[in-house]
């Protein structure tokens, strides 16, 4: 019987998505039975040259996790795209840039200045930096080139399906593996290209907290108040990205009495998760008694209360947002 050939690659991410594939309960035994692992750097010792030798489209399914942060990430993404019939943007780093995408608030030069020169623990009197090429006595050593801007997978290759989540849930992974197995073994149809393997609802739809129409006067950090575990976070002045976030996680953070940070990314109806959340927040922020819309002063008051606007509204989606990155002015004569 035809077996599914699976590849998994870890780009700029934390490794949680790799673990998620191992963490799919008893289904992992089924995966071993139904699939051959064509490439999975943390689990099997296939080399890139082995992948290069494979016929085009001979890998059934590649689950690419992590953002595209350097030339190696891009090279492997392109190679796996060429060799795979189905390319999945696996996890929120691949789909939207994820937490690594927050590096788009700075640039490569400032980031490396900080890491290799400024931190208290750094001793680097010669200001040595990682070099893409170095001639050692034993021969030339190379490193991937770090990019100035963190990219998503679809910025560099054609993507067939998107599976958001940080990491994707066991249910999402099992659901999609079942679809692919049935496709390979029984010829069952695949979802339409571009489908998102996740719920179409918002997190608020699956959150069990009571919601009442109300207004708020103050934004609270979660540690500043005793959060009522039964009431909607927003009504308590705590920013929760539920209205702008795709459902599917089972409201995990809310169960732990913490607000949603938006890791499932936006729903299909939302173009920009942060912008959508800001507008949801503005709609419940107190306006002057005789006003229906926020005045300029109200907006300023709202914004000054939000301590880290980019980290609050774009923790997982900065590279996919309309902003995409913070533009840094280049100083004359300074190479960025
Ligand atoms: S999506 Fe989350 S779990 Fe997956 S690699 Fe990125 S940070 Fe890690
Ligand atoms: S805003 Fe947050 S706490 Fe309120 S209903 Fe939505 S998910 Fe639940
Ligand atoms: S509640 Fe929000 S941040 Fe937490 S797991 Fe769910 S989608 Fe992600």
Q: Quick one: which atom of ligand 2 is closest to the CA of 251?
A: 7
Q: Which of the pair, 304 or 78, is modelled with greater confidence?
A: 78
Q: What is the mean pLDDT of residues 167-175?
A: 94
CA angle, 321 then 329 then 73, to 5°:
50
Q: What is the mean pLDDT of residues 219-230?
A: 94
Percent of the chain with pLDDT over 90: 72
Q: Are 241 and 277 in contact (CB under 8 A)?
A: yes
184's tokens = 């390979």
Strands 4-10 and 59-65: parallel
Task: Write the DSSP assignment of 264-280 as a string of letters.
Answer: T---TT-S-HHHHHHHH
Least confident interval from 123-132, 211-220, 280-289 = 280-289
- By C-alpha distance, which of 1, 6, 2 is closest to 177? 6
Query: What separation in angstroms does the CA of 73 have from each of 10, 76, 152?
Result: 8, 5, 10
Is residue 20 pLDDT above 90, yes or no?
A: yes
Q: What is the mean pLDDT of residues 18-35?
A: 80
Q: Quick one: which atom of ligand 2 is closest to the CA of 208?
A: 8
User: Distance, CA 64 to ligand 1 centroid (Å)?
Assistant: 11
Q: Are 92 and 12 in contact (CB under 8 A)?
A: no
pLDDT of residue 18: 93
CA angle, 182 then 183 then 184, to 5°:
95
Residues near 112 by Cβ (< 8 Å), separated by ≥ 6?
A: 129, 130, 146
Distance CA 101, CA 149 (A): 8
User: Distance, CA 198 to ligand 2 centroid (Å)?
Assistant: 18
Q: Is 304 helix (H, G, I), strand (E, B) or coil?
A: helix
The verdict on whether omega for the bond into residue 167 sits within 30 degrees of 0, i.e. cis, is: yes
Q: Which of the pair, 2 or 173, is modelled with greater confidence?
A: 173
Which fold would CATH assign to domain 4-99+150-186? Answer: Rossmann fold (3.40.50)
336 — pLDDT class (breaks 50, 70, 90): very low
Q: Is 92 helix (H, G, I), strand (E, B) or coil?
A: helix
Mutate which of 198, 242, 262 to test ligand 3's pocket (most atoms within 8 Å of Cβ)? Answer: 262
Burial of 223 (0-12, 13-18, 19+ CB in 10 A): exposed
Mutate which of 204, 263, 266, 267 to test ligand 2's pocket (most atoms within 8 Å of Cβ)? Answer: 204
43 — pLDDT class (breaks 50, 70, 90): confident
CA 140 to chain centre: 35
Task: Identify the residue whose C-alpha is closest to ligand 3 atom 4.
Answer: 253
Output helix, strand, coil percentages for the chain, rounded to the nearest 5: 35, 15, 45
Percent of the chain with pLDDT over 70: 94
pLDDT of residue 11: 97
User: Distance, CA 185 to ligand 3 centroid (Å)?
Assistant: 34
Distance CA 17, CA 19 (A): 5
pLDDT of residue 76: 98
Domain ranges of the chain: 4-99+150-186, 108-147, 203-320
Is residue 306 pLDDT above 60, yes or no?
A: yes
pLDDT of residue 335: 45
Query: What separation in angstroms does the CA of 142 have from each of 72, 80, 294?
Result: 11, 21, 55
254 — pLDDT class (breaks 50, 70, 90): very high
pTM of the entire predicted model: 0.92
Least confident interval from 194-198, 277-281, 330-334 = 330-334
26 — pLDDT class (breaks 50, 70, 90): confident
pLDDT of residue 333: 52
Average pLDDT score over the chain: 91
* Model confidence pLDDT, tens digit, residues 265-284: 999 998 899 999 988 888 88
Mutate which of 231, 233, 236, 283 to test ligand 2's pocket (most atoms within 8 Å of Cβ)? Answer: 233
pLDDT of residue 319: 96
pLDDT of residue 217: 84
pLDDT of residue 125: 92
Q: Are 247 and 262 in contact (CB under 8 A)?
A: no
Q: Are 199 and 246 in contact (CB under 8 A)?
A: yes
User: Distance, CA 16 to ligand 1 centroid (Å)?
Assistant: 5
User: Distance, CA 248 to ligand 2 centroid (Å)?
Assistant: 14
Q: Quick one: which atom of ligand 1 is closest to the CA of 16?
A: 3
Residue ranges around ligand 2 (CB below 6 Å): 203-204, 207, 209, 211, 232-234, 240, 242-243, 254, 260
Q: Are 302 and 237 in contact (CB under 8 A)?
A: no
pLDDT of residue 168: 97
Q: What is the mean pLDDT of residues 205-220?
A: 89
pLDDT of residue 256: 96
Neighbours of 48 (CB within 10 A): 14
* Model confidence pLDDT, tens digit, residues 82-141: 999 999 999 999 999 999 999 999 999 999 999 999 998 999 999 888 899 999 999 999
Distance CA 69, CA 66 (A): 9
């Amino acid at each position: 019987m035809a077996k599914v050939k699976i590849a998994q690659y870890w780009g700029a991410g934390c490794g949680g998505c790799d673990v998620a594939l191992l963490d799919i309960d008893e289904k992992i035994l089924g995966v071993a039975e139904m699939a051959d692992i064509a490439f999975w750097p943390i689990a099997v010792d296939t080399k890139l040259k082995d992948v290069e030798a494979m016929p085009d489209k001979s890998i059934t399914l590649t689950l690419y996790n992590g953002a595209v942060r350097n030339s190696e990430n891009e090279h492997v993404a392109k190679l796996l795209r060429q060799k795979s019939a189905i390319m999945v943007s696996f996890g929120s780093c691949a789909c939207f840039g994820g937490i690594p995408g927050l590096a788009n608030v700075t640039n490569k030069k400032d980031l490396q200045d900080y890491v290799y020169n400024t931190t208290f623990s750094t001793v680097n009197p010669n200001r040595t930096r990682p070099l893409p090429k170095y001639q050692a006595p034993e021969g030339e050593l190379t490193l991937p080139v770090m990019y100035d801007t963190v990219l998503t997978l679809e910025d560099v290759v054609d993507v067939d399906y998107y599976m958001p989540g940080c990491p994707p849930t066991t249910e999402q992974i099992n659901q999609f593996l079942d679809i692919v197995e049935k496709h390979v073994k029984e010829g069952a149809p695949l979802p339409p290209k571009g489908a998102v393997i996740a719920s179409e609802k918002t997190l608020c739809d699956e959150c069990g907290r009571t919601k009442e129409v109300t207004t708020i006067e103050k934004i609270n950090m979660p540690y500043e108040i005793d959060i009522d575990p039964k009431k909607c976070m927003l009504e308590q002045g705590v920013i929760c990205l539920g209205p702008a976030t795709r459902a599917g996680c089972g409201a995990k953070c809310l169960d732990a009495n913490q607000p949603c940070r938006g890791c499932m990314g936006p729903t299909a109806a939302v173009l920009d998760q942060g912008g959508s959340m800001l507008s949801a927040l503005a709609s419940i922020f107190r306006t002057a008694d005789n006003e229906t819309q926020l005045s300029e002063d109200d907006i300023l008051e709202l914004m000054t209360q939000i301590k880290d606007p980019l980290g609050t509204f774009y923790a997982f989606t900065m590279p996919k947002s309309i902003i995409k990155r913070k533009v840094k002015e280049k100083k004359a004569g300074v190479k960025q």
